[in-house]
Structures are given as structure tokens and as C-alpha cells.
Amino acid sequence: MSHLLQPFLDYVFMQRAVLGTVAIALSATPVGCFLTLRRMSLMGDAMSHAILPGVAVGFLVSGLSLGAMTVGGIVAGLAVAVLTGAVTRATGQREDASLAAFYLISLALGVLLVSLRGSNVDLMHILFGSVLALNDAALRLLCVIATLTLVTLAVVWRPLVLECVDPTFLRSVSRWSGPVHLIFLGLVVLNLVAGFQALGTLLSVGMMILPALCARFWCRNLGPMVALAMGVAIAASVAGLVASYEWSLPSGPAITLSLGAIYLFSLICGPKDGILARFRPRPHFHS
């Protein structure tokens, strides 16, 4: 055990990496739990691609500038969310179809913009991140976004839960429905932008969705589900960083594959709709 923990004690870049991933885990996993409950998991994946053109524009303007790429990503993500809603209302096309169209356009445009000026290294940095190269500015940004997300969720928790359960009822008894939905979309974009700093635009959604899917196999109540998802994300982050250090693996994919391993274990062994649980005898009611 001490051998596994030694890199975090000896190297500052490993300490920065674990601090950054813990901040993302605490911030993104609650948002992922709500996406899962709302059956919008694929929306997170689509939005992670949607921020790419904004990140690319920030890169073209200022190079690998944290501030420029962050602002560009937020603007692009919010723009795609607004355009998706506008197209859905104006044409009657389903929201998932509109989102799929815009995320494909965004992904292609973002890759094209980065390739105009950057090298393959720059493109790989933006797409897959560099969690082992987080600096003080990136850590501050991750911690600020984590704090803002947790405070915002605490304020809108009850209407957000009600919107997941019965959005029609919420619209009938409160004016919170529209603002809560927009706030939630903003939190999704904000956390994807934060995640791209460490895991890249393609893998940042993994930290948001996979822990929530794992927790769903073990509990049904939202509070325990969020807590378990946070724990899963932190454990997988540490395991992925250790694997990356020990075997010289890319850190972002190592963390995501660690999450994938926990998901497969939960899929098989989870007591709530896991594969093995379906073969266990169920108790019968007795009169």
C-alpha cells in the first residue's frame, strides 16, 4: 500500500493531479446523477463535444491559455444548448435529434480550427487533456467551479429533484421550472469545461456519467447515490493515476478505464438490477 501512495508523497505533479480530479469528482458527479435520473446521459456526451469549437477559438486567439479556452468553451456550450432548444421549439424536431446534429457539427468544426494553427500535440492536449500537467491556475479554476456547483445545487436541490420526478407538476405549482432547467444546463456546461482541463473534451464526460451509472446499481435514493458516485469517482481517479505512473499510461484514459472497470463490476454484482441480482430468488408475499 505504501508503495502505491509513494508517488503522491514524492511528486508535486501527482499531488496536483489528485487534487484536480477530486475537485472534478465532487463537482461533476452530482450533475451526472441528475442527468442519469432525467435519462439525459447522452446529452452530457453531446455537450462535451459542443464545447470544442469555443475551446478551439480560445486556442487560436491565445494559444494554450486557460482563461481564453475556458471562456470559449462556456460560450460554445451554452450557445449549443440555446440553439438546440430554439430548433426544437421552432420546428418540432426532437431535442435529442437537434443536439446530435449540433454536437457533430461542433466536433468537426473544433478539430478543424485546432488543426489550422496547432500541431497534433495541441490537438491531443485539447481532446484528451493532461491531468499530470495541471498548474495553480487550473487548480484554482477547478476548485472555484466545484464550489460554485455544490452551492448552486444546494440552493436548487428541491425543485431540481421535483423536475426529475414530475416536471409537469413543478410547472403547475411553481415558476422554478424554466430557471431550474437553464441553471442545470449551465452546470452541465460548466463542469464539462472544468473537466476538459484535466481529461480533455472527449473524456471529461466520463467523470460525470460513469460514477452515476455505477451508483445506480447499488442504491435508489438520490442522496446515497450522489455520495457513492463521488466515492467511486475519487477511487477511480486515484487508481487511474497510480496505473498511469506505474505503467506509463496516458492518465485520462487510465482514469476513465478505471471507472469503466467499476461500472462493469457494478453491472454484474449490483443489487439494484445487476445481472446476478436478476437470477437471485425473490421473496414471496405470505398471507
Distances (CA, A) of 162 to 165, 169, 171, 175, 204: 5, 8, 10, 13, 27
DSSP string for 225-276: HHHHHHHHHHHHHHHHHHHHHHHT--HHHHHHHHHHHHHHHHHHH-TTT-TG
96: left (phi over 0), alpha (psi -120 to 50) or beta: alpha
In contact, 267 and 257? CB cutoff 8 Å: no
Please tell me the pTM assigned to this model: 0.85
**What are the extents of the domains in the chain?**
2-279
The pLDDT tens digits along the chain (287 residues) read: 666 777 777 788 888 889 999 999 999 999 999 988 887 777 777 777 778 888 888 877 777 677 788 888 888 888 887 887 777 777 767 777 777 788 788 878 887 887 776 566 566 666 667 788 788 888 888 999 999 999 999 998 888 888 777 777 677 777 776 788 888 888 988 888 888 777 877 788 888 899 999 999 998 888 899 999 999 999 999 999 998 888 888 888 889 999 999 999 999 998 888 888 877 766 655 44
Q: Which CATH number fits domain 2-279: 3.60.15.10, 1.20.810.10, 2.60.120.370, 1.10.3470.10?
A: 1.10.3470.10
